[in-house]
Structure 1
Amino acid sequence: MTYPPSPPPGPGGPVPSPEPIQPYQPPQNYVPDNPYAPAPYQQQPPPYTQPQVHDYGYGSPYSQGYGSTLKPPAEGLAIASLVISCIAVPGALCGSGFGGLIGVVGAVLGHVAQRRIRRNGTSGSGMALAGIIVGWVATMIAMVVLAVIVFAIASSPDSASPFDY
């Protein structure tokens, strides 16, 4: 659009016409491109799925797939072995032979649990080993405590020997 020429401004002359005014447009916010977004020409990866578990009867912990958090169930006898062996320790320290018998039961349960863990591939071998160790230690403690008690009774001058009659 063109305007007619205007006369030069003077003391009483006309005022020059202003430039055409553009309509107001609010400033646009700058949004950078997402650097982590895949390019439109790249193929999208498939959605995550649970890894397939192929147990071929060997019970291998490696058959569950990389990064899998699946664990085989714990062997119940291993848990029982550890609990019974831990109960045997105070019984062995009390001076009764009962703690030693409970320790033997805990240790035997631990041995049986380890055999079943090797055969079935279940977890809990650490608990079974702890049950074995604690059970045999409790049995040894009970035997030592009983030997000390018997020796103390036998060496006491107040005690009557069955052979004194």
Structure 2
Amino acid sequence: MPGGGASFLLASHADRERAVDVLRAGFAEGRLEKGEFDRRVARVYTARTVGELALVVADLPQGPMPYPAPVAPVPQVFLPTPRPAANGKAVGAAVCGLLCLLTAGLTGIPAVVLGHTARTEIRRTGEDGDGLALTGLVLGWLSVGGWALFWLLIIMVGVLDG
């Protein structure tokens, strides 16, 4: 390859299509007349090397020119209000409460503790997640109460049989 530059590489179909896209953008922006556009497209499809393609589009921007950004910012009234983040302890309470079913109640007490702590923090900070904390509390107390009732029945049966 003489000179070893990329301009001597053979042009691919994709290279030609990219060059035609640049010509289309230039024509759409009014940089080329219809006759000039047609002549250049014909040259693109007969070009053999990347260097020949580069010469066809050298005087055009490589794609459509961006429009200037709007000067006036969007008024605050029209912007969406950011939602407060969910309290992490409330999420933990809900997860522990749901896991009570899978862990045979072992996560009931953590669900109750996290639920009460989360509701206190939510009232103080205004975070989101009160429903999650309440879910963890209810499921945790049901688990603790269920296990307390179970052990009470076991003890009563043991005492009555004993």
TM-score range, shorter chain: 0.3 to 0.5
Relative to the length of structure 1, the TM-score reads 0.47
Relative to the length of structure 2, the TM-score reads 0.48
Which has the larger Rg? 1
Q: From the two aligned structures, give the one with the greater helix fraction.
A: 2
